[in-house]
C-alpha cells in the first residue's frame, strides 16, 4: 500500500461530539456550538479559516436556515467563511468532501465541520422522503423505508436469500454500541430478537432500520503538515463522490449500487490502495440491505453474497472487514447531518489506537461511505 505525500495533503487533527440522544434538551444552535468548540480545542485551533455546517432538516423542523453564521455566532467566532451544505442523508460526507477540496486548493489552512440534526423537533419522515423523486416516487407513496423494503424484497428473490441471513448486521451494530458511551442504543440484540421484531414494511423489520435521533459532531481538518504532526493527525487520503439516477426505477440494475462502486473505485485509485488494504469500513447501514449492497459494490463481496459476510461473522470487530465499529447508524444513531462526522471521529479514534474495547487490531486504513437518498448520492472517504 503506497501513500504519496504532497504539499496539499489533508489531515484530520481533532474532533468532538455530543452523545446521540432520542431528544436533546439543548437548542440546535447550542448543540452545534458545543461540539464545534470542543473540536477546536481538541485540534488546538482557536479559529478556523472556514466553517462548514452539515444539516438536512433544520429549515423545516426548526424553522431555521443559514446555519453557517448561526453556529459560528453561537460559538463566538467572527470574521470567517461559514457555509451550510446539504446532500440528503449524505450531508455530513458532502461537508467533508467540500472541506477536502478547499484544503487541496490551498485557499484555506484549517476547516471545521459541524454536523448536527435535531430530528425530535418534528416528524422527519415525510421530509426525508423528499430525497426521492418528487414526480414519480413520492406521489406513489414511497418513503425511505418502503423503497428500501422494495429493494430488499427484490434482493431476496433475485439471489434466493433468506431474511435471517441479514440478522447479524443488527446484532453486530448493537454489540459494538454497548461499549460506545455516545451511542443512542445500549441494548444487546441476538438473532432471535431480530427475527421476532415487528415488521415495518415487508420484509424490513424494526432492527433493520436506523433510529431517528438528535446529535452534533464536529471535526477539524488542515493542510498544514506541521500542525498535523503536532496533533498526531490522520491523513484523509481520498474523498470522492458519484451520483446515480434519482429514481430507483430509472436504474438498469437497482441492486448494484453503481454510484457506490464508482465512488469507491475512484477513492481507491486516489488513495493508491486496493479493497484488501481497508482494515475496517464505516458504511451507511441506515437499512440492513444498504449495508449488504455497499459491501458488494465496494469489492468486499460478490453480487448476491454480501449477506454472507454478516452471517459468517466477517463484519464483527475481529472479522475480515469490520463494519459499524462503534454501533453504526443502526445503534450509535443516524442524526442525518451529523452522521458522517460521527463516523470520521470514530475512524480518528481507531487509527490513533484510542477506540478502547472497540479497537480494531493494527488498524491502519479505514474507509467510510455515505448514501444520500436510496443509493443516489454516494460519497466515499478513505483515511
pLDDT tens for 39-74 read 999 999 999 999 999 999 999 999 999 999 999 999
Residue-wise pLDDT for 113-147, tens only, equals 999 999 999 999 999 999 999 999 999 999 999 99
Residue-wise pLDDT for 203-250, tens only, equals 999 999 999 999 999 999 999 999 999 999 999 999 999 999 999 999
Q: What is the mean pLDDT of residues 259-274?
A: 98
Residue-wise pLDDT for 367-379, tens only, equals 999 999 999 999 9
Q: What class is the 10-123+214-236 domain?
A: alpha beta
Residue-wise pLDDT for 3-12, tens only, equals 333 458 999 9
- The structural architecture, per CATH, of the domain 144-209+238-382 is 3-Layer(aba) Sandwich (3.40)
Q: Please list the residues that pair with 51 across neighbouring strands.
A: 82, 112
Intra-chain end-to-end CA distance of the chain, in Å: 13
Give the start-to-end residue ranges of the domains of the chain: 10-123+214-236, 144-209+238-382
Residue 1 has pLDDT above 80, yes or no: no
Amino acid at each position: 500500500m503506497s501513500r504519496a505525500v504532497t504539499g496539499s495533503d489533508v489531515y484530520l487533527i481533532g474532533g468532538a461530539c455530543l452523545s446521540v440522544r432520542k431528544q436533546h434538551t439543548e437548542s440546535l444552535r447550542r448543540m452545534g456550538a458545543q461540539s464545534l468548540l470542543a473540536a477546536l480545542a481538541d485540534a488546538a485551533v482557536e479559529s478556523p479559516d472556514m466553517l462548514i455546517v452539515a444539516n438536512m432538516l433544520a429549515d423545516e423542523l426548526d424553522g431555521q436556515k443559514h446555519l453557517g453564521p448561526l453556529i459560528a455566532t453561537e460559538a463566538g467566532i467572527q470574521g470567517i467563511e461559514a457555509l451550510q451544505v446539504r446532500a440528503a442523508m449524505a450531508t455530513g460526507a458532502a461537508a467533508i468532501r467540500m472541506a477536502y477540496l478547499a484544503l487541496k486548493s490551498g485557499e484555506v489552512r484549517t476547516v471545521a465541520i459541524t454536523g448536527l440534526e435535531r430530528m425530535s423537533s418534528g416528524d422527519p419522515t415525510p421530509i426525508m422522503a423528499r430525497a426521492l423523486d418528487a414526480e414519480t416516487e413520492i406521489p406513489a407513496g414511497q418513503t425511505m423505508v418502503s423503497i428500501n423494503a422494495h429493494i430488499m424484497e427484490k434482493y431476496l428473490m433475485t439471489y434466493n436469500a433468506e431474511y435471517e441471513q441479514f440478522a447479524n448486521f443488527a446484532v453486530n451494530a448493537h454489540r459494538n454500541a454497548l461499549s460506545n458511551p455516545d451511542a443512542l442504543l445500549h441494548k444487546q440484540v441476538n438473532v432471535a430478537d431480530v427475527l421476532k421484531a415487528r415488521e415495518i414494511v415487508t420484509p424490513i423489520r424494526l432492527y433493520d432500520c436506523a433510529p431517528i435521533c438528535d446529535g452534533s459532531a464536529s471535526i477539524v481538518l488542515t493542510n498544514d503538515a506541521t500542525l498535523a504532526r503536532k496533533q498526531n493527525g490522520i491523513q484523509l487520503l481520498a474523498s470522492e463522490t458519484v451520483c446515480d439516477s434519482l429514481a430507483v426505477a430509472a436504474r438498469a440494475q437497482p441492486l448494484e449500487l453503481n454510484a457506490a462502486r464508482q465512488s469507491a473505485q475512484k477513492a481507491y485509485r486516489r488513495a493508491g490502495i486496493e479493497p484488501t488494504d481497508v482494515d475496517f469500513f464505516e458504511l451507511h447501514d441506515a437499512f440492513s440491505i444498504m449495508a449488504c449492497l455497499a459491501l458488494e459494490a465496494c469489492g468486499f463481496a460478490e453480487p448476491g453474497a454480501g449477506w454472507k459476510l454478516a452471517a459468517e461473522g466477517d463484519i464483527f470487530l475481529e472479522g475480515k472487514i469490520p463494519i459499524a465499529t462503534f454501533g453504526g447508524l443502526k445503534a450509535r444513531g443516524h442524526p442525518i447531518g451529523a452522521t458522517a462526522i460521527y463516523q470520521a471521529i470514530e475512524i480518528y479514534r481507531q487509527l490513533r489506537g484510542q477506540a478502547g474495547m472497540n479497537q480494531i487490531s493494527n488498524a491502519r486504513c479505514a474507509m467510510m461511505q455515505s448514501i444520500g437518498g436510496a443509493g443516489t448520492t454516494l460519497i466515499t472517504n478513505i483515511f
